[in-house]
Amino acid sequence: QKEVEQDPGPLSVPEGAIVSLNCTYSNSAFQYFMWYRQYSRKGPELLMYTYSSGNKEDGRFTAQVDKSSKYISLFIRDSQPSDSATYLCARQVGGATNKLIFGTGTLLAVQP
Amino acid sequence: GAGVSQSPRYKVAKRGQDVALRCDPISGHVSLFWYQQALGQGPEFLTYFQNEAQLDKSGLPSDRFFAERPEGSVSTLKIQRTQQEDSAVYLCASSQLSWVGGGQRPYNQPQHFGDGTRLSIL
């Protein structure tokens, strides 16, 4: 079992829809979780990060962590064609490195 | 520029050749990471530098992979005797280092990535 599991999609939605992207993780330690957006042939771009449990909102984006079920979610409201990209969830490891462990990414297409 | 810069953007090499990939982190960022991203996969950690010290190289797949950051700024990832399985996008990320726990414990702020070097081995 991978440490961070993510449905690769692809996920296709009409413009204006609410998008729900999800990951599960296996490690129980307190930690940060990140969501990155990656456009084709570009590097990952940090969208949001949140600590072990709870919600965080930033504009049209809401990140949610459910520690009891080890579930990470990203919600996108009023989705736009410009949101079409691969969305990567990541767990930040503790210790001296704080390296990131990524899921496989979910490919999202928002149809105009 | 203000972001992480990587060069070259694309590199094609014949199997067996050596390659060198360069990363310019965000100015002032103490921490620097290298990741490898295979097609259709998320990035996978290769190695981590704090200033010029390589604190973690547990993700380097073989002794053909070597990374350095001699002056604590620019970093180079070198792959010797390249193989076809080395074909991937190599991403560099940098972050600020904070101190938590009353200044006792280092913590890396969220990482910012460059656009990567797409390496193809023929």
pLDDT tens-place string over residues B28-73: 999 999 999 999 999 999 999 999 999 999 999 999 999 999 999 9
CA dist., res. B103 & res. A85, Å (int): 38
CA distance A89 to chain B (A): 9
Residues 6+ apart with CB under 8 A from B108: A92, A97, A98, B31, B95, B96, B97, B98
By the CB < 8 Å criterion, does B53 face chain A? no
Range with the lowest mean pLDDT among A93-97, B20-24, B35-39, B84-88? A93-97
Residues of B with CB below 8 A from A7's CB? Answer: none
| pLDDT at A1 (0 to 100) | 63
- pLDDT of residue B8 exceeding 80: yes
**Chain B residues with CB inside 8 Å of A5's CB?**
none
Spatial separation of the C-alpha atoms in residues A65 and A23, rounded to whole Å:
10
Partners of B79 in the β-ladder: B19, B65
Asked whether the predicted pLDDT for residue B81 surpasses 60, the reply is yes
Per-position pLDDT tens, chain A of length 112? 678 999 888 999 999 999 999 999 887 676 789 999 999 999 999 999 887 677 899 999 999 988 888 889 999 999 999 999 999 999 988 777 889 999 999 999 999 9
Determine the residue of chain A that is closest to B31 in CA distance.
A97
pLDDT score recorded for residue A26: 85
| B12 has a pLDDT exceeding 90 | yes
Look at residue B19 in the predicted model and tell me its pLDDT: 98
Of the candidates A96, A100, A104, which has its C-beta nearest B111's C-beta? Answer: A100
A33 strand-pairing partners: A50, A91
Quote the pLDDT of residue A52.
67
Q: What is the mean pLDDT of chain B?
A: 94
Give residue B61's identity as a one-letter amino acid code.
P
Q: How many percent of chain B have pLDDT more than 90?
A: 87
Is A102–B42 a contact, with Cβ atoms under 8 angstroms apart? yes
Which residues 33-92 on chain A approach chain B with CB closer than 8 angstroms? 34, 36, 41-46, 49, 88, 90, 92
